[in-house]
Chains A and B, each alone.
Chain A
């Protein structure tokens, strides 16, 4: 990254002027508000059209007008009436929460090993994690399908239309770039901390659970959120695994609503998309305090 472009980020700070309160505020916080207002506008305006489509009884997703021709909850009612919405919602949340929780655990375990230990295959493992994700996933679907057809015959509990089968496939991606992200964060925790704990007689497991994990809370929260969002919006693998209406997720159900363009119902789709974003925002709201306040300065000194 060149300095020129980042210049824009910091430029509002540069002018050191008089000591009036306003100037001080502008220097310390004003530019922050200015940046945020611009970004928020950019972030929010397309979303408004989705809200508009959700209210528009015509069932179209269109940016030609922000105000719907008539505001009604017909789309929402249609979605709740014609689909097993509650079941889908529950399924989506199950996958998102479970996958996020287990992925955070598995990824943190691996990141700890990558960060604190030196072993054969460490470098290859790290690079491999990055590289394996570059293979286009939609091609591997056929392989996964064939694999689970066989597995499902032997073990109906992890076959198609079961939660555990799909969850296993999701967990296959538990070690990923997220592990790099975590490792990077683990690296910034000074080694002196765990070394002194070891001096006091702690095992490596105790160091990991009692010392490391609390110190890396922000990155745990971030990875949890990233996995949560990806899982709740996932529909490609879900469409392969889940046929039974009651086993499906909301993301998949929504995909089916608009996949066939001719019968697409964007109104219902928009309602569903908004409903799907609510848990994400709730989780983010819950986790964001850990993200930014997990570390009070001074707890960790380099």
Chain B
């Protein structure tokens, strides 16, 4: 028996308990959230250092400290809303443009008014995407869209149509050069974000738009004949058809397939650029090709933006930051250095495009893109639509799947 060690263990525990009990005096900092004198910004860990560095100048000019805190990107929106409810939201946070609807109805952000000379410098679509009911809810700084990446050794020319892509890819596959025609993440539960260009090219649509380009949630197109026909056309390339699109390809294995030379074509995003540059593959970027005689394959455009929380203790400087600093080409370029994404500030975009042909190509690939709808109803579509699309790819009846998805979305958005 080890009599001695146990009292020792208990002793340690008791000590820790005492330490806990009288632990007030270790000089712990104040809690998080916004506090006067320190501008708190929430960012995903990937960009936090870059933002911290790029905000230094602002901090010095205005005599304030900038404190960039890590929150994983997918958690920022929910955490901000919770924190706002509890009264300790950050002063500023980074977010996607399609959060505006939810942030607005929770009153969690503050509307922004940009002076016209600042607004003119920003991409018009980006500003529109950040606006709801005529209010600008945040200031965009970068654009993201998916594109086609191809291995130039295997496929020297960019395919004009999807049919051409499949033809080239199938030849390569038959020759045994590659295992897969195309690496596009379909995923077991579907990926409507990546499927959208194809669905639109084949004539389908998700929400209708009015003449001014505003999304109309009352015109849900998921179960429409056009969309069903579009999905039927896409299904020809699915698992029961040519086998180009398969559920087994997902966001975890799509990039390795391409970088290891197992496929010549890859539906990629800016987030793959760093790995692409590090790999041995010679690649080029072009627009996602649409179907022959079809509409253009419009990828969704996403905008990364800075939001100002409502009721923050430093709202004056937070506003100043988004109005005059986020719109400043210097700041955008500093951020670009650390995290390459297409800038929406025109001067910054010009200088980046000259330097980096890939960024220019990504911007070109976005030519027919549409901003991802920012209405709150959009969030209700992803999952039902994804599941339906995955089922169609697996060979199930398109009409039944899409009509069920339509019904489910309509119920959720209260139609």
Direct A–B touching in the complex (beta carbon < 8 Å)? Answer: yes
Decide if B7 touches A209 in the complex (CB within 8 Å): yes
Q: Does B411 contact A (CB under 8 A)?
A: no
Decide if B73 touches A105 in the complex (CB within 8 Å): no
Decide if A60 touches B253 in the complex (CB within 8 Å): yes
Binds A, one of B29-37, B205-213, B312-320, B392-400: B29-37
Annotate B82-114 by CB proximity to A: 1 below 8 A, 0 otherwise.
110111101000000000000000000000000
Nearest A residue to B187 via CB reads A261
Decide if B32 touches A161 in the complex (CB within 8 Å): yes
Given A161-B31, A256-B72, A262-B269, residue A167 in contact with residue B9 (CB < 8 A):
no
55-71 of chain B: CB within 8 A of chain A: 67-71
Annotate A149-165 by CB proximity to B: 1 below 8 A, 0 otherwise.
11011011101111110
Q: How far is the CA of A263 from the CA of B271 in the complex (A)?
A: 6
What is the number of contacts between chain A and chain B, taking CB atoms within 8 Å? 159
Q: How far is the CA of A60 from the CA of B6 in the complex (A)?
A: 45
Binds B, one of A10-18, A19-27, A44-52, A213-221: A213-221
Decide if A259 touches B69 in the complex (CB within 8 Å): no
A interface residues, how many (CB within 8 angstroms): 63
Q: How far is the CA of A153 from the CA of B44 in the complex (A)?
A: 26
Decide if B17 touches A58 in the complex (CB within 8 Å): no
Decide if B45 touches A257 in the complex (CB within 8 Å): yes
Nearest A residue to B40 via CB reads A243
Decide if B85 touches A146 in the complex (CB within 8 Å): yes
Decide if A152 touches B6 in the complex (CB within 8 Å): no
Q: Does A248 contact B (CB under 8 A)?
A: yes
CB distance from A63 to the nearest CB of B (A): 10
Decide if B259 touches A244 in the complex (CB within 8 Å): no
Q: Does B357 contact A (CB under 8 A)?
A: no
Binds A, one of B20-28, B165-173, B216-224: B20-28
A residues near B13, Cβ cutoff 8 Å: 101-102, 104-105
Q: Does B48 contact A (CB under 8 A)?
A: yes
Decide if A243 touches B71 in the complex (CB within 8 Å): yes
SS class, residues of chain B in contact with chain A: helix
CB distance from B9 to the nearest CB of A (A): 7
267-292 of chain A: CB within 8 A of chain B: 290
Decide if A164 touches B20 in the complex (CB within 8 Å): yes
Nearest A residue to B185 via CB reads A261
Decide if A255 touches B86 in the complex (CB within 8 Å): no
B residues near A60, Cβ cutoff 8 Å: 252-253, 255-256
Q: Does A260 contact B (CB under 8 A)?
A: yes
Q: Does A230 contact B (CB under 8 A)?
A: no
Given A102-B13, A105-B13, residue A62 in contact with residue B86 (CB < 8 A):
no
Decide if A214 touches B6 in the complex (CB within 8 Å): yes
Annotate A119-155 by CB proximity to B: 1 below 8 A, 0 otherwise.
0000000000000000000000010011001101101
- Residue of B16, B31, B252 with highest tally of chain A CB at under 10 A: B31
Q: Does B275 contact A (CB under 8 A)?
A: yes
Decide if A164 touches B23 in the complex (CB within 8 Å): yes
Identify A162's interface contact among B14, B31, B33, B279, CB under 8 A. Answer: B31
Annotate B69-83 by CB proximity to A: 1 below 8 A, 0 otherwise.
111111100010011
Decide if B46 touches A105 in the complex (CB within 8 Å): no
Q: Does B321 contact A (CB under 8 A)?
A: no
Q: Does B413 contact A (CB under 8 A)?
A: no
Given A101-B12, A259-B73, residue A149 in contact with residue B87 (CB < 8 A):
yes
Q: Does B265 contact A (CB under 8 A)?
A: no
B residues near A160, Cβ cutoff 8 Å: 31-33, 88
CB distance from B57 to the nearest CB of A (A): 21
Given A214-B2, A214-B6, residue A167 in contact with residue B278 (CB < 8 A):
no
Identify B252's interface contact among A61, A163, A168, A256, CB under 8 A. Answer: A61
Decide if A156 touches B31 in the complex (CB within 8 Å): yes
A residues near B259, Cβ cutoff 8 Å: 58
B residues near A294, Cβ cutoff 8 Å: 1-2
B residues near A262, Cβ cutoff 8 Å: 251, 269, 271
Nearest A residue to B47 via CB reads A263
CB distance from A151 to the nearest CB of B (A): 9
A residues near B45, Cβ cutoff 8 Å: 83, 245, 253, 256-257
Decide if B28 touches A243 in the complex (CB within 8 Å): no
B residues near A171, Cβ cutoff 8 Å: 20
Residues of B in contact with A (beta carbons under 8 Å apart): 1-3, 5-7, 9-10, 12-14, 16-17, 20, 23-26, 28-33, 42, 44-46, 48-49, 67-75, 79, 82-83, 85-88, 90, 251-253, 255-256, 259-260, 269, 271, 275, 278-279
Known: A102-B13, A149-B88. 4 other contacts (CB 8 A): A162-B28, A163-B23, A164-B24, A262-B251
Some 28 contacts from A to B, beta carbons below 8 A apart, are: A60-B255, A60-B256, A64-B256, A82-B49, A83-B45, A105-B13, A157-B24, A157-B25, A157-B26, A159-B31, A161-B31, A161-B32, A163-B28, A164-B20, A213-B7, A243-B71, A244-B29, A244-B32, A259-B74, A259-B75, A260-B73, A262-B269, A262-B271, A263-B44, A263-B46, A264-B252, A290-B5, A294-B2
